[in-house]
Amino acid sequence: MLFGRTFIDREMLLGLVVASFLAFFHTFMALLIISSLLIGGSIIAAHGAFRVPKDLFLDDPSAAFNGKHHQHAALLPRHTC
């Protein structure tokens, strides 16, 4: 109850969300969180840009029957020509 008026739950939630955003953006914490998200995103983007995907895909079906890929050989399509 504020100024003789009772607020419903939706109005109370909206007021608290607005107050939280205002308090968040008027503190140093906003700069810290936003900058850490930008730094983390740039590290992830750089990792994806410079990664060399060797041995992730088996282009040769006969390569599936060597030692380490033998368990997944049944999942490869069989070519009948």
Q: Dihedral of the CA atoms 35, 38, 40, 43 (nearest 10)?
A: -130
Q: With respect to residue 80, please indicate whether it lies within any of the assigned structural domains.
A: no
Q: With respect to residue 67, please indicate whether it lies within any of the assigned structural domains.
A: yes
Sign of CA dihedral 6, 12, 16, 22: negative
Contacts of residue 76, Cβ cutoff 8 Å, sequence gap at least 6 = 58, 61, 64
Q: With respect to residue 19, please indicate whether it lies within any of the assigned structural domains.
A: yes
Q: With respect to residue 14, please indicate whether it lies within any of the assigned structural domains.
A: yes
How many domains does one find in the chain? 1
Instruction: Give how far the C-alpha of residue 4 lies from the chain's centroid of Cα atoms, to the nearest Å.
Output: 46
What's the token pair of residue 51?
A: 């990664």
pLDDT at 35 (0 to 100): 93
Please give the residue range of the domain that contains residue 29.
9-75
Q: With respect to residue 3, please indicate whether it lies within any of the assigned structural domains.
A: no
Q: With respect to residue 81, please indicate whether it lies within any of the assigned structural domains.
A: no
Distance CA 21, CA 14 (A): 11
Tell me the per-residue pLDDT of 9-64, one tens digit each, with 9 for 90 and over. 999 999 999 999 888 888 888 889 889 999 999 999 999 898 877 766 666 666 55
Longest dimension (CA), the chain: 84
